[in-house]
Chain A
Amino acid sequence: MKTIKILGTGCSKCKAVTDLVQNVVSENNIDAHIEKIEDIAEIMTFNVMSTPAIVIDGVIGIKGRVPSKNEVYELLTK
């Protein structure tokens, strides 16, 4: 099972990324646990400077922008 963490303080972009990841996971039956991290102190432990960011099993996949659906799919299935 994959652990997906979405880092973001709660702006519209962060929300868009969360919805996107949730859609991709449920549409493709990916075995994953999605966690939304809004606490800034915890976000800083990942060393990102621009949110939103997607962290998969501890590895930062995308940061600072809203990716396309395809990008998320490739990121989750590779």
Chain B
Amino acid sequence: MFHVLLYIVKSYVNILLKLNSESHFAKALDFFIYDSIKIITLLVIIIFLMGFVNSYFPVERVKNYLTTHKLFGLDYFMASLFGVVTPFCSCSSVPLFIGFVRGGIPLGVTFAFLITSPLVNEVAIGLFLGLFGFKITAIYIISGILLGTISGFILQHLKLDKLLTPWVKEVLMASKNNPNSLKEEPKSFIEKLPTIYNDTIKILKGVIPYVLVGIAIGGIMHGYIPEGFFEQYMNKNNIFAVPLATILAVPMYSNASGILPVVQVLVSKGIPLGTAIAFMMGVVALSLPEAMLLKKVMSLKLIGIFFSVVTLCIIISGYLFNVIL
């Protein structure tokens, strides 16, 4: 259905603005208008749908589910899966972490949730669909869930509980006899609609500026950088490209909204998709501000181990992507 849109945009740029359709500027402008309309449409749909799903999975219910069900090793996978449908604000990561661990959820399972939640969220899914299509979106979601599951499993088996900060241990000791279960009044779908609608608008208002800037940068690169430009430096044969891209990404702080439109152009100019997605995952999943927040509950050593394990898993999935695609 977007082919029609592309045709309209191209005609508009060509005829009304009297631009040569082969000029750099026209190419950049085509890209910007077409991608903006397409991506914002998809974002509206996906954010609304995810808001609807999320209204059935508030973090408290997720915690209750994980504490009361015996999952025989599937805990990591379930926690990771919940991470996809339960977004949380990065400043909630500390209360959430303590809430989970206090509820008796193992550290590794908590990590599985904490890793997947920012990595696979409604905005990233909307952007992936718009920029890369259905197949790659599916691979991205699955690899995000596996990344959380595997990292959580590894972290659990490193026996890290002793590396929590002293006050967290105190909180945990003090609250053993203080159960907290979710009390909520049941609401029908119709009653939930206004809240979901309002949340959708709020999220959109928050991400659209970043998306537009990202698309604008992408548009400029699309129009002016020749095809295959990056291929000479970052091709599939360069085995250092994936780790390098991931490690470079860690100190950068951005969210999926700004980085993905740029990633798409990098891919079209010759960077292998696996390398580009490893870069994107590094930017989204591992950020220094998050490390600063987590310092309140974890020793530096534990944060270091956490980041190392996730970085390693991202690098491996980057290689896998390059092999599969």
A68 touches B95 (CB 8 A): no
Chain B residues contacting A40 (CB-CB under 8 Å) are 94-95, 296
Is A43 a contact partner of B91 (Cβ separation < 8 A)?
A: no
Query: Cβ of A10: which chain B residues have Cβ within 8 Å of it?
Result: 91
CA gap between A8 and B296 in the complex, in Å: 15
Contact among B92, B94, B178 for A47, CB-based, below 8 A: B178
Residues of A within 8 A of B167 (CB): 41
Tell me the nearest residue of chain B to A14, going by C-beta.
Answer: B91
Our pick among A8, A41, A44 for the contact of B91 (Cβ within 8 Å) is A8
Q: Which residues of B contact A14 (CB under 8 A)?
A: 91
Question: Which residues of A lie under 8 Å from residue B95 when comparing CB positions?
Answer: 40, 43-44, 48-51
Per the bound structure, the CA–CA distance linking A66 and B99 in Å amounts to 20
Q: Which residue of B lies closest to A70 (CB)?
A: B194
> How many residues on B have C-beta within 8 angstroms of the other chain's C-beta atoms?
25
- Cβ-based interface call for B25 (8 A): no
Q: Are B199 and A50 in contact (CB under 8 A)?
A: no
Contact flags B289-308 to A (C-beta < 8 A → 1, else 0): 00001001000000000000
Q: With contacts defined as CB atoms under 8 Å apart, how many contacts are there between chain A and chain B in the complex?
A: 54
Contact with A along B71-106 (1 / 0, CB 8 A): 000000000000000001111101110111000000
Q: Would B96 and A49 count as touching, CB distance under 8 A?
A: yes
Q: Are B58 and A64 in contact (CB under 8 A)?
A: yes
* Also in contact, A50 and B171, with CB within 8 A (given A9-B91, A9-B293, A14-B91): no
Closest-CB distance, B122 to chain A (whole angstroms): 15
Closest B residue to A9 using CB positions: B91
Interface of chain A residues 7 through 41 with chain B (CB within 8 A): 8-11, 13-14, 40-41
- CA A66 to CA B60, docked complex, whole Å: 17
Alpha-carbon distance between A13 and B293 when the two chains are bound, in angstroms: 16
Complex Cα spacing A48 to B99, Å: 7
Smallest distance from the beta carbon of B114 to chain A beta carbons, Å?
12
Interface CB pairs A-B, < 8 A, 10: A8-B91, A11-B90, A11-B91, A40-B95, A47-B180, A49-B95, A50-B95, A51-B92, A64-B59, A64-B92
B residues with a Cβ closer than 8 A to A are 58-60, 63, 88-92, 94-96, 98-100, 167, 171, 178, 180, 195, 198-199, 202, 293, 296
**A-B residue pairs, 5 tightest by C-beta:** A49-B99, A11-B91, A47-B180, A9-B91, A50-B92
